[in-house]
Amino acid sequence: MKTIARRRDLAFAVVGATGAVGSEFIELLQSNGVDPQRVRLFASERSAGRVIEVGGRPVTVEALRPGCFAGVTIAFFSAGKGISKTWAPQAIASGAWVVDNSSCFRMDPAVPLVIPEVNPDAIDACDGPSIVAVPNCSTIVALVAATPLHRVARVRRMTVATYQAASGAGAAAMRELEAQVHDHVASRPMKTDIFGRQYLFNCFSHNSAIGADGYNEEEAKLLHETRKIWDDPDVRVTATCVRVPVLRAHAEAIGLEFETALSEARAREILASAPGVEIVDDRVNNRFPEPLQAAGRDPVLVGRIRADWSLDPGMGLQMFVAGDQIRIGAALTGWRIAELIATRLAATRAT
């Protein structure tokens, strides 16, 4: 959509502009034709002064400082929880809306947690400039695929196994995976600064902290964020999250148990018309969602759609999905939230 580009009254900031998600926000600003003179870029002190081209024009990266959000309408935050906690309230105080990609505010009852394809109306609760949280990447990928079915048959229980790419741990993790490829070819010891272990030719439990119950933070996010987004405190969710040696785009195996019967054929019809979903389900040629197919693209790919043999007929489905963690799992969802904000601001000014 080009709605934002046509709005000359909007100004933007990207916090964390030199990171993987920040770079994707810059690409979205460019591809949507936003005037680079309406864009400000922020990063750490060590990146301040770096020049990044936006829409064919150089934009100098700035360090965050008091008052730096003056004149900004929408600020995209993708620099981590600590930066968001300190600086997002200052952006709000300056009159900017904050689209936050960190985990800082997701479970705050006063902050809407939004996937535009799922619960766009959640921002209606905001009274003036506010923080709008972007869910975790694995939650976004799962719920873009599962929600269309949930709306028809109500999901009682969801099981998820994730296969998460290096992109979920940031640009440095992506570079380390690439470096390990070169190290392997050259028969050199592999650098393991990010994960403390070999990533290439390996997979391991997600690197987030593990609680006393044995679940890690990534798995807990899938439970708590799903309940908040669906506004359903009773839905049961369990997950196992794993890092795999893929550069970009996450894959997930999802099992759904329904409250009312839903046939496989009807599920396919629903998914075929669902926003943000593309069906890739070729049983004859064994072609199903793959991270390489999803990387750099907007939709969540959905395939391996089949009845769950462990449940009564019609009461459950299994499927396999893939989505680009940097785009739909982060920046693109943030961008679509900004479109919702821009539409809201236009309606407010029209009244």
| Residue pair 91/102 in contact by the 8 Å Cβ criterion | no
- For the packed helices 137-153 and 264-272, what is the interaxial angle rounded to 10 degrees? 120
Name the E strands within the chain.
12-15, 39-43, 51-54, 57-63, 74-77, 97-100, 131-133, 155-164, 204-205, 236-243, 250-258, 277-279, 300-307, 316-323
Q: If residue 263 lies in a helix (H) or strand (E), which one and from where to where?
A: none
What sign for the dihedral angle of Cα 73, 78, 83, 89? positive
What does the alpha-carbon distance between residue 228 and residue 107 come to, in Å, rounded to a whole number?
Answer: 8
Task: State the chain's maximal CA–CA distance in angstroms.
Answer: 67
Which residue is catalytic, options 68, 150, 206, 250? 250
Which tokens sit at 243? 């890092």
What does the alpha-carbon distance between residue 278 and residue 300 come to, in Å, rounded to a whole number?
Answer: 6
Which residue is catalytic, options 104, 137, 150, 241? 137
Residue 250 bears catalytic tag:
yes
Q: Which residue has the tokens 């070169």?
A: 182
Active site residues: 137, 250
